[in-house]
Amino acid sequence: METNLGEYRETVHYNNHSGVRAICSDCHVPHEWQYKMKAKIMAVKDVYHEVLGTISTPEKYEERRLEMASAVWTKMKASDSRECRNCHAFEYMDFTIQETRAAQNHQKAIDTGMTCIDCHQGIAHDLAPGYLEEYNHVVKKLAAQPHQGPIDVAGIKSFLGTQSE
């Protein structure tokens, strides 16, 4: 867990102009009690693999990078980026002071019911090759499940730019 920590320390969530820092748990541990407990129980797997040394070398880490990222994307996509929205919410955004490009895309995201992770992959950790394909795969897998809410998969797919099925 040192590799991902090092990568995170290069990003805006660690050092930025406003001096607000989001630490690991701000993004990876939910605030709500029952989800928090669930996350902590599921984290047993992470501890197990850390002790086992599954990602103990840079080579091993690179090999598993996409798989691990995919697991987190699945979690974030399924929860509508709940942890992001503890700090960043569409309701609190002033589009007039955002970069034009960002403002346009955020408003488009509201209209099409997209979620943060649909665009913001790799904001705190490095991305593996083929990450966009993997993310599309995650979206498709989640959409295939019956209990999902009204997520506009077609809209997200077209935004991500996969015309081919």
When the beta carbons of 56 and 155 are compared against another protein, the nearer one is: 155
Give the nearest distance from C-beta 51 to another protein in angstroms: 16
Residues that bind another protein (CB under 8 A): 11-12, 32-39, 41-42, 45, 62, 78-82, 85, 89, 91, 99, 101, 104-105, 113, 115, 122-123, 126-129, 131-132, 145, 147-149, 158-162
Give the nearest distance from C-beta 52 to another protein in angstroms: 15
Give the nearest distance from C-beta 120 to another protein in angstroms: 10
30 token code pair: 């939910």
DSSP character string of 25-79: HHHHS-SSHHHHHHHHHHHHHHHHHHHHTTT-SHHHHHHHHHHHHHHHHHHHHHT
When the beta carbons of 91 and 94 are compared against another protein, the nearer one is: 91
CB neighbours of residue 55 within 10 Å: 21
